[in-house]
Each structure stands twice: as C-alpha cells, then as structure tokens.
Amino acid sequence: MERISPWWDQARHADRKPFLNARTAVTRALRAWFDAQGFVEVETGVLQVSPGNETHLHAPRTALTTAAGDHLTRYLRTSPEFACKKLLAAGEQKMVEFARVFRDRERGVLHLPEFTMLEWYRAGGSYEVVMADCIAVIAIAARATGIARFSFRGRQADPLAEPERLTVAAAFNRFAGIDLLDTVVGREGDRAALAKAARGRVRIADDDNWSDIFSKVLVEHIEPRLGQDRLTVLSDYPAPEAALARISPSDSRVAERFEVYACGVELANGFGELTDAAEQRIRFTQAMDDKQSRYGERYPLDEDFLAAVARMPEAGGVALGLDRLVMLASGASKIDQVVWTPPAEDA
C-alpha cells in the first residue's frame, strides 16, 4: 500500500495553501464584522466539569491532579456554550468566540475530532435577530473569498441569494409526506404515531424512540434536499428536539431553534435561549438517562451552569462550524483541506 505523505510535506502543504489562505481571509473578515457590530471576542476554558448533556454527543475525557494529589475528572469541551452563557449571566451583552472544540466518535469528510466552532450570543437578541446574523456571516465568508456559488457533492447554492425559510414541519410534509406536529402532544413526541407515519420511509427498530425516528427521516429525506440553489433556514424544531432552546410562545409543540444548510450541509444551529433552569435540568437528566441506556455512560450536570441559566437575560445564540463554512467558501472538497494541522492519524 502506497504511503500518503504527511500533511507537513511541502508539496502536500502547497496543494492546501490556497484553502488555508481562504481560511485566513474569512476569519479576518468575520472578526472585523463582529467588531463593527459591537461584539467582544472572548476566550473561555477548554477543560470543563461537563462537556454538554446531549444523548449522542461524545467528549474526550482527561484528569487533573490537585496540589493535594486528588484526581479530578474533566472533559474537553464540545462547545463553549456553557461558559458563554455564564458570561451572559455575568452581564456581557454581545460576545463571540472562535472556539476550539472536541468530539469523540466523529471523523469524515465533514467531521474532525478537533475543530473550530464560531459561537456568538446577543443578550436581548431575538431568535430572528441571530438568524439574520447567521445569514450575514455566511455572506461575509463568501465575499471574503470571492466565490459565487458554494458546491458540495454535485449540489450548489448561492450564498448571497435570499435564503429559503422552511419550518421543520413543512419540510417533513414536503419531502417525506409526514404530518410531524400531529405526532407531538404538548411538548412530548408520540412514538407510535411517528412510527406509523414514517413506516415504509425509513427502517424503524423496535428500540427506536421518537427522536431516533425523527433523526432518520431528517437525515435520509430532508437534509439532502436543503440548501439547493440558495441557503435554507430550517426553523421551528419540534419541542422534543428543543435542546437548549426555549419553547415558542405561540405553539408549545415547537421550539425557537433553527439550523442553516447549504448544499445539504448543516452549517449552523441557533436558539432563542432557554432561561428556565428547572426545565433545562429536566431535559439534561432525560438525555443523560438515555445516554446511559445506550452507551453505558453519562456526563455530570454542570450545577454552576444551571445556576447561571436562572440568572441569564433573554438572549439569542448561534453555533456555526467555521471549518465547514471555509470549506464551502474556498471550494475545498473535504474539511481536512482547510485546517492548518489535520489530525495526526491521517499523516
């Protein structure tokens, strides 16, 4: 088997240099935009008591040794979200972070175990305001590189065109023929109802819950059709998928959560942020119970974070995958091309 040259080989680096230059241009343009908007750039800690409490999110684990010789379990963060929300509680109004984050069990054309998450928060900012921020950020990246159209695996999208706005319920109806909200009762998913509606469209296992079936339909029937010719803002996620978003005041079956897609690629995830600490605790506990049953592990709750949630102002926030955005804005075909030092395992 022919050995692949390491990423630091001069010829290989030269091949990647145009993409890396594009990364520099995009990062510089984004920093200038956030600065002009009055955001403060923050740097939060990588080592955390809890890496996040989502069922399918996996984090590298490490240990600290105190001066007394005690060992403390810590995790490499999967997002700067907890720390940034503590800063909101502390009184920061508008902040942005170009954060190095880490994920276990993720590697591929669009995934890295270590990558850059661009996150920003606006105290008092609505769901709609941060959604508009997100569209502006993507356009700025495209202008920074001069690219006219994003492309990925045969799909194309104009990053400067007026985005398509589509609710999750409308997308399920259009692309899968499923009345999704008919399977949501109050804030809970009706597993039997969604299984019946999705039968014949996806393969359903006996132990699949409502969220599993939802995810299968989303991945197989919805996401490949999003971000065609222009960006798609997929909004109003069903309440069982609210994560850290607040429930919509106009319909308890949906949450103030959106995602942005280009060429079938998810670029960003945004929330009207939840400020009900008791509700957040319930969601985290349910997710960790599910994680324990599936993977035999659970992450601790960050009690300091939950205390801060109760003190947070109303806010909007977005997490955007910077590497994916640079990949599309530079014309790269895989994410490794746009990071300065790809994972050593690939050398």
Residue span of the structural domain in which 76 resides: 10-337
Length of the chain in residues, anyone?
Answer: 347
344, part of any domain: no
- Mind listing the pLDDT tens digit for each residue in 312-321? 999 999 999 9
Share the mean pLDDT of the chain: 95
Contact criterion met (CB below 8 Å) for 313 and 86: no
Res. 73 pLDDT band, cuts 50 70 90: very high
Whole-angstrom Cα distance, residue 319 to residue 327? 17
Name the residue among 214, 130, 116 with its Cα closest to residue 171: 214
Over residues 75-89, the pLDDT tens digits come to 999 999 999 999 999
Distance CA 273, CA 294 (A): 28
299 within domain boundaries: yes
Digit-coded pLDDT (tens) for 181-199 = 999 998 899 999 999 999 9
Is residue 346 situated within a structural domain? Answer: no
Instruction: Give bridge partners of residue 73 from the DSSP assignment.
Output: 63
pLDDT more than 70, % of the chain? 98
Instruction: List, as one string, the DSSP characters of 65-101.
Output: E-TTS-EEEEEE-S-SHHHHHHHHHHT--EEEEEEEE
CA distances, 48 to each of 78, 114, 127, 244, 327 (Å)? 9, 16, 27, 18, 29
Give the per-residue pLDDT at 108: 85
Task: Judge whether 155 lies within some domain.
Answer: yes
Residue 108 or residue 327, greater confidence = 327
At residue 347, the pLDDT reads 39
Residue 345 lies in a domain: no
SS3 call for 234? strand
Number of domains in the chain: 1
Q: Half-sphere exposure of residue 297, counting CA atoms within 13 Å on the CB side?
A: 11
**Does residue 105 surpass a pLDDT of 60?**
yes
The β-bridge partners of 319 are 119, 269
Helix (H) or strand (E) holding 315: strand 315-321
As a whole number of angstroms, the distance between CA 160 and CA 72 comes to 48
pLDDT above 50 (res 236): yes
How deeply is 64 buried, as exposed, middle or buried, from its count of CB atoms within 10 A (0-12, 13-18, 19+)? exposed
Is residue 150 a contact partner of residue 142, using CB atoms and an 8 Å limit? yes
Task: Express each pLDDT in 1-38 by its tens digit.
Answer: 556 788 899 999 999 999 999 999 999 999 999 999 99
SS3 of residue 256 by DSSP: coil
Q: 109 in a domain, yes or no?
A: yes
Tens of pLDDT, residues 268-305: 999 999 999 999 999 999 999 999 999 999 999 999 99
Q: Look at phi and psi of residue 115 and say left if phi exceeds 0, alpha if psi is from -120 to 50, else beta.
A: beta
Residue 3 inside a domain? The answer is: no
Cβ contact 326:282 at 8 Å: no
8-state DSSP, 254: B
pLDDT bin (cut points 50, 70, 90) of residue 307 is very high
Q: What is residue 185's predicted lDDT score, i.e. its pLDDT?
A: 94
Query: In this structure, is residue 5 part of a structural domain?
Result: no
* CATH code of 84's domain: 3.30.930.10
296: phi then psi, degrees, rounded to nearest 5: 70, 25
| Phi, psi at 287, each rounded to 5° | -65, -40
Question: What SS3 class is residue 305?
Answer: helix
